[in-house]
Structure 1
Amino acid sequence: MPSRRDSGARPGSRPSSRTQSRPPARRGDQPKRRTAGTPAEPERTRGSRNLTGRAAVVLLVLGALIVSYAQSLRVWFDQHQQISALNQEIRDREKRVGELNDELARWKDDAYVKAQARQRLGWVMPGEVGYRVIGADGKPVGAPPEPSTPANGTADAQKPTWYTKLWGSVEGAGNPPAPSPKVTK
């Protein structure tokens, strides 16, 4: 009786353990043999597969998502910059409000009001003598600027205001000039 280690195939006998450990051969696993008349076919590898329809759809969807998220991120960054600018403006205005409140508190002090009246208006207290230094040009040095008033109203008379010009055009349109008489020969 032959032993199990024989490679002979008997009908109804079990295959040896060596043949059981191998997976069965498939059609695609075996390299194809070329015959002399057939051209060589390029072998397909995992890296060189063609783009399938599903992969194209997935790539298209991913591209659309990237574009939509990029737009949303750009809007978010723009809004973030606007918020930062508005917060800075709020801080600046709060600082200005604080400065104005300080100035308002100073104006409530009588000593500050007297000092401003002396400096800005040139006032003196009763019993004091006020002096003004006159410069080489004949104007007081360090004096507050004089209010600008036109002398005898000549500046205003030369430059009419816009509403005076407008009313003059309305009156002129209501009173057209008389036609000149035609001279016939």
Structure 2
Amino acid sequence: MAKRPQLTGRAAVLAVVVCAIAMSLAYPVREYIAQRRNVAELKQQQARLLAEIKALDDESRQLRDPAYRKRLARERLFYCEPGQKCYVVMDDTPEQAKGTAEEKQAVAKPPWYETLWESVEAVDAGRGRKAAGS
């Protein structure tokens, strides 16, 4: 008895058709997954923005309250009511008034006259090179 080949013509055609279908579905499936991911990211962004809007609405509502505004003026601007005695302790700064490390570094800049003198020296050094090169 003759041995049948393992791969018949029908099986080969079927394999090619299955591969063609898989190849034709790969791109739409990939786009579908990408769009689903994009929708999920947009929903997260929307939730984040809605929370931010709610916080800003709450802050706006607080700022419309005269008692809150008076308290802010006393705390931040050290305002006093007429006839009231107010004291400011200079060493005891609130946590809000303390700067971050970046702000402290910005304050640690050299004085303006040192910066000016360094720029004059830099220009003078540049002229000396041009004169020597000329």
The two structures have a TM-score, normalised by structure 1, of 0.51
Equivalenced residue count is: 123
- How far apart, in 2, do the equivalents of 1:74 and 1:127 lie? 73
Identity %: 26
User: Against the structure 1 CA distance between its residues 65 and 112, is the aligned structure 2 distance closer, same or farther, given a 3 Å change threshold?
Assistant: same
Equivalent position of 1:21 in the other structure: none
User: Against the structure 1 CA distance between its residues 72 and 158, is the aligned structure 2 distance closer, same or farther, given a 3 Å change threshold?
Assistant: farther
- How far apart, in 2, do the equivalents of 1:141 and 1:118 lie? 14
1:73 counterpart = 2:73: no
Cα displacement string for residues 44-65 of structure 1 (whole angstroms, at most 9, x for unaligned residues)? 6xxx554333431231121121
- How far apart, in 1, do the equivalents of 2:17 and 2:71 lie? 76
Counterparts of 1:1-185 in structure 2, within 5 Å, are 41-42=1-2, 48=4, 50-133=6-89, 139-142=91-94, 145=97, 154-159=110-115, 177-179=130-132
> How far 1:158 moved relative to its partner?
3.6
> How far 1:86 moved relative to its partner?
0.9
Cα displacement string for residues 46-89 of structure 1 (whole angstroms, at most 9, x for unaligned residues)? xx554333431231121121133233223211220111111111
Which structure: greater helix fraction?
2
Structure with more relative contact order (C-alpha pairs < 8 Å, separation 6 or more): 1
| C-alpha RMSD over aligned residues | 3.7
The two structures have a TM-score, normalised by structure 2, of 0.67
Structure with bigger gyration radius: 1
User: Against the structure 1 CA distance between its residues 144 and 73, is the aligned structure 2 distance closer, same or farther, given a 3 Å change threshold?
Assistant: closer
Unaligned runs of 5+ in 2: none
